[in-house]
Amino acid sequence: MKIDVELKNVTKKYGEIVAVDDVSFAVERGQFFSLLGPSGCGKTTTLRMISGFETPTEGEIFIEGKPMTNVPPFKRPTNLVFQNLALFPHMNVFDNIAFGLRIKKVPENEIQKRVKEMLELVRLPGYEKRKISQLSGGEKQRIAIVRALVNRPAVLLLDEPLGPLDLKLREEMIVELKRIKREVGTTFIYVTHDQGEALTMSDKIVVMNKGKVVQIGTPMEIYEKPKSKFVADFIGGTNFFEGKYTDGAVEVDGLGKISIESGAHVSKKTLLLSVKPEKICIGKKLKKVDNIFDGKVTESFYQGRAITYKVLLENDSLITVVAPSYGMERVFGIGEKVKVGWNKEDARVIT
């Protein structure tokens, strides 16, 4: 596999603020690669270093194997879709898309052809003469993406491009982006703080927190096998249980034993368990479940596809349970006594 972008121990400091702290990762050719993390964790800074608008304080960045130190943004084989899009308001759609090609002195008929192709790619044919102010949010988004793509960059960088869109448009654009990615095959580096977006679209995800890389993996690995408390909680939320390990189970104060899969973690005395809300079942009676506890519903939110419950357990800890509305008999009321339970393989040990 060819590596398109590689960061080696990259650090960026603004005075005393360390925005990016010793970050290393490699992006393979053709990957849809996501940088995921909460606001202010250094995603934009990382992206701006790759595109050349910031210089790393330490470490080095390679694109297509070449070191990028001292290469200005306009000479890098990357193109960036800005967080605020940055479409040129004084040019129409055509001139915006043609901007990069004209700089490169591509012949005018070739420009015509490529812009047309691009507008077809994002299903906006005939939009050439539109002014930027006459576009809807979703249309602007697409124009911004093809304005970058038309230059056939080795790597396309996207900085939270779906941020300002409403939920429905966002879901549409996610599908659209995946399709575009499939059709052009370019390497994408995608920045987002939305785990849903990252999980749906990516081949690989880097989770960042406070400037540091906390985990790299496929969406499945990140979701199912979080390596830290932060990742477990940040990706989809979770329920934590802490207790002492004694043969095959974790003893939680006031709650009892939670049986877990026998694994390699047994050397530790206290263990932290993470149980995802949708892996927990809830009911008056539960069968064929490894761990069952009594609880009381304190809140319930009906959300159409699912119902989210807050359940108070006997050790006074509040857990979140997401139950599918499919096959459900009824919504449990507040104060109602219920049983909650999960299987051993769904309780993940966090190291």
Ligand X SMILES: Nc1ncnc2c1ncn2[C@@H]1O[C@H](COP(=O)(O)OP(=O)(O)OP(=O)(O)O)[C@@H](O)[C@H]1O
Residue 70 main-chain phi, psi, to 5 deg: 70, 10
Residue 220's binding partner out of ligand X, other proteins, Mg ion, none, with CB under 5 to 8 Å set by partner kind: none
Alpha helices in 16-136 (DSSP H): 43-51, 93-103, 108-121
- Give the residue at shortest CB distance from ligand X: 44
Q: With contacts defined by CB under 5 A, name the span among 9-17, 38-46, 89-97, 121-129 that binds Mg ion.
A: 38-46
Footprint of ligand X on 183-242 (CB under 6 A): 193
Footprint of other proteins on 116-155 (CB under 8 A): 147-148, 151
Alpha helices in the chain (DSSP H): 43-51, 93-103, 108-121, 137-149, 167-184, 195-201, 219-224, 229-234
- 44 lines the binding site for ligand X (CB under 6 A): yes
- 72 lines the binding site for other proteins (CB under 8 A): yes
* Choice between 18 and 286, CB closer to other proteins: 18
Q: With contacts defined by CB under 6 A, name the span among 36-44, 93-101, 139-147, 167-175 that binds ligand X.
A: 36-44
* Choice between 87 and 323, CB closer to other proteins: 87
Q: Which residues pair with 28 in a beta bridge?
A: 3
Residue 42's binding partner out of Mg ion, other proteins, ligand X, none, with CB under 5 to 8 Å set by partner kind: ligand X
Rounded to whole angstroms, how far apart are CA atoms 250 and 55?
Answer: 48
Rounded to whole angstroms, how far apart are CA atoms 45 and 23?
Answer: 11
- 40 lines the binding site for ligand X (CB under 6 A): yes
Q: Least distance in Å: CB of 181 to other proteins? A: 19
Q: Least distance in Å: CB of 78 to other proteins? A: 8
Strands 204-209 and 212-217, bridge-based pairing: antiparallel
Using DSSP's 3-state secondary structure scheme, residue 252 falls into strand
* Choice between 45 and 238, CB closer to ligand X: 45
* Torsional class of 101: left (φ above 0), alpha (ψ -120 to 50), beta (otherwise): alpha
Among the listed residues 40, 53, 123, 125, the single contact to other proteins using CB under 8 A: 53
Among the listed residues 31, 44, 187, 239, the single contact to Mg ion using CB under 5 A: 44
- 300 lines the binding site for ligand X (CB under 6 A): no
Backbone Cα Rg of the chain: 24
Residue 11 burial by Cβ neighbours in a 10 Å radius (0-12, 13-18, 19+): middle
Among the listed residues 4, 27, 43, 260, the single contact to ligand X using CB under 6 A: 43
Among the listed residues 2, 16, 17, 304, the single contact to ligand X using CB under 6 A: 17
Residue 190 burial by Cβ neighbours in a 10 Å radius (0-12, 13-18, 19+): buried
Residue 297 burial by Cβ neighbours in a 10 Å radius (0-12, 13-18, 19+): buried
* Choice between 82 and 342, CB closer to other proteins: 82
Q: With contacts defined by CB under 6 A, name the span among 32-40, 60-68, 272-280, 296-304 that binds ligand X.
A: 32-40
Q: Least distance in Å: CB of 66 to ligand X? A: 24
CA torsion sign for 51, 55, 59, 64 is positive
Residue 193's binding partner out of Mg ion, other proteins, ligand X, none, with CB under 5 to 8 Å set by partner kind: ligand X
Among 347, 351, 19, CA closest to 215: 351
Residue with tokens 């081949």, as numbered in its chain: 203
- 73 lines the binding site for other proteins (CB under 8 A): yes
Tell me how many residues contact ligand X (CB under 6 A): 12
From residue 284, give the alpha-carbon distance in Å to each of 26, 52, 107, 337, 339.
49, 59, 72, 8, 6
Tell me how many residues contact other proteins (CB under 8 A): 31
Rounded to whole angstroms, how far apart are CA atoms 295 and 312?
Answer: 5
**Residues within the interface to other proteins (CB under 8 A):** 14-17, 51-53, 55, 57, 72-75, 78-80, 82-84, 86-90, 99-100, 103-104, 147-148, 151
**Residues within the interface to ligand X (CB under 6 A):** 14, 17, 19, 37, 39-45, 193
